Structure 1
Amino acid sequence: MAAGVLATILFTVMLILLAGGVWIAVSLGIVGWVALEFFTPAPAGSLLASTVWDSSWNWALTALPLFVWMGEILFRTRLSQDMFLGLSAWLSWLPGRLVHVNIVGCGIMAAVAGSSAVTCATVGRISLPELKARGYDERMILGTLAGSGTLGLLIPPSIMLIVYGVISQQSISRLFMAGVLPGILIIALFMGYVMIWSWLRPELTPADTEKLSLKEKLWRSRYLIPVMLLIIAVLGSIYGGFATPTEAATVGVIGSLILAGFSRSLTPKTFMDTLLGAVRTSCMITFILVTAAFLSMAMGFTGIPRHLATWVDSLHLSPYALLFVLGIFYIILGCFLDGVSMLVLTATVVLPMVKAAGIDLLWFGIFAVIVVEAAQITPPVGFNLFVLQGMSGRDILHITKAAMPFFFLMMLGLVIITLVPQIVTILPQTMMR
Structure 2
Amino acid sequence: MNDIAVTALLIAALFVILASGVWIGLALSGVAWIAMQLFSARPAGDAMAVTIWGTASSWTLTALPLFIWMGEILFRTRLSEDMFRGLAPWMQRLPGRLLHTNVVGCAIFAAVSGSSAATCATIGKMSLPELARRGYPDGIALGSLAGAGTLGLLIPPSIIMIVYGVTADVSIARLFIAGVLPGTLLALLFSGYIALWALGNPKRVPPRDAPMTLRQKFAESRNLIPIVLLIGAVLGAIYTGLATATEAAALGVVGALVLSATQGTLNRHSFMQALMGGTRLYCMIALILAGAAFLTLSMGYIGLPRHLAEWIATLGLTPFQLIIALTMFYMLLGCFLDGISMVVLTMGVIMPTVHAAGIDPLWFGIFIIVVVEMAQVTPPIGFNLFVLQGMTRRHIGFIARSTLPFFGLMVLMVVLLYLFPEIVTWLPRQMRG
TM band (smaller chain):
over 0.9
Q: Tell me the residue number matched to 2:112.
A: 112
Deviation at 1:210, TM superposition (A): 2.3
Residue 224 to residue 205, structure 1, CA distance change in 2 (3 Å)? same
Q: Give the aligned residue type for 2:58.
A: N
- Cα distance per residue 1:109-149 (max 9 Å; x no partner): 11222111222222222111111111111111111111111
Structure 1 residue runs of 4+, over 3 Å off? none
Q: Tell me the residue number matched to 1:251.
A: 251
- Cα distance per residue 1:323-360 (max 9 Å; x no partner): 00000010011011000100011111111111110100
Q: Tell me the residue number matched to 2:304.
A: 304
Q: Give the aligned residue type for 1:263.
A: Q
Q: Tell me the residue number matched to 1:149.
A: 149
Q: Tell me the residue number matched to 1:59.
A: 59
Q: Tell me the residue number matched to 2:133.
A: 133
Correspondence list, 1:200-215, <5 A: 200-215=200-215
Q: Give the aligned residue type for 2:200.
A: L
Deviation at 1:406, TM superposition (A): 1.1
Correspondence list, 1:284-433, <5 A: 284-433=284-433
Cα distance in structure 2, aligned partners of 1:388 and 1:266: 29
Deviation at 1:104, TM superposition (A): 0.9
Cα distance in structure 2, aligned partners of 1:291 and 1:58: 15
Q: Tell me the residue number matched to 2:230.
A: 230
1:71–1:118 Cα contact (<8 Å) kept: no
1:189–1:409 Cα contact (<8 Å) kept: yes
Q: How many residues align?
A: 433
Correspondence list, 1:188-199, <5 A: 188-199=188-199
1:334–1:372 Cα contact (<8 Å) kept: yes
Q: Give the aligned residue type for 2:152.
A: G
Q: Tell me the residue number matched to 1:175.
A: 175
SS of 1:375's equivalent in the other structure is: helix
Deviation at 1:394, TM superposition (A): 2.1
Deviation at 1:199, TM superposition (A): 1.2
Structure 2, unpaired ranges of 5+: none
Cα distance in structure 1, aligned partners of 2:361 and 2:230: 30
1:156–1:177 Cα contact (<8 Å) kept: yes
Cα distance in structure 2, aligned partners of 1:210 and 1:410: 35
Give the RMSD, CA atoms, in angstroms.
1.3
Cα distance in structure 2, aligned partners of 1:144 and 1:77: 25
Q: Tell me the residue number matched to 1:42.
A: 42
Cα distance in structure 1, aligned partners of 2:119 and 2:49: 36
Cα distance in structure 1, aligned partners of 2:336 and 2:11: 15
Greater CA drift, 196-205 or 258-267 = 258-267
Q: Tell me the residue number matched to 1:265.
A: 265
Structure 1, unpaired ranges of 5+: none
Greater CA drift, 191-200 or 381-390 = 381-390
Q: Give the aligned residue type for 2:164.
A: Y
Q: Give the aligned residue type for 1:334.
A: G
Deviation at 1:222, TM superposition (A): 1.9
SS of 1:29's equivalent in the other structure is: helix
Q: Give the aligned residue type for 1:257.
A: L
- Cα distance per residue 1:372-391 (max 9 Å; x no partner): 11111223322222322232
Cα distance in structure 1, aligned partners of 2:252 and 2:127: 24
2:92–2:209 Cα contact (<8 Å) kept: no
SS of 1:98's equivalent in the other structure is: helix
Cα distance in structure 2, aligned partners of 1:69 and 1:232: 18
Q: Give the aligned residue type for 1:3.
A: D
Deviation at 1:193, TM superposition (A): 0.6
1:98–1:131 Cα contact (<8 Å) kept: yes
Cα distance in structure 2, aligned partners of 1:404 and 1:268: 44
Q: Tell me the residue number matched to 1:184.
A: 184
Cα distance in structure 1, aligned partners of 2:328 and 2:279: 33
Q: Give the aligned residue type for 2:49.
A: A
2:63–2:249 Cα contact (<8 Å) kept: yes
Q: Tell me the residue number matched to 2:100.
A: 100
Cα distance in structure 2, aligned partners of 1:291 and 1:375: 22
Deviation at 1:75, TM superposition (A): 1.6
Q: Give the aligned residue type for 1:388.
A: L
Cα distance in structure 1, aligned partners of 2:87 and 2:5: 56
Deviation at 1:430, TM superposition (A): 1.2
Deviation at 1:191, TM superposition (A): 0.6
- Cα distance per residue 1:270-315 (max 9 Å; x no partner): 2222111111110010000011000000000101110110010111
Cα distance in structure 2, aligned partners of 1:248 and 1:17: 38
Q: Give the aligned residue type for 1:291.
A: G
Q: Tell me the residue number matched to 1:75.
A: 75
SS of 1:409's equivalent in the other structure is: helix
1:112–1:230 Cα contact (<8 Å) kept: no
Greater CA drift, 108-117 or 52-61 = 108-117
2:198–2:205 Cα contact (<8 Å) kept: yes
TM-score, normalised relative to structure 2: 0.97
Deviation at 1:432, TM superposition (A): 1.4
1:71–1:115 Cα contact (<8 Å) kept: no
Greater CA drift, 256-265 or 123-132 = 256-265
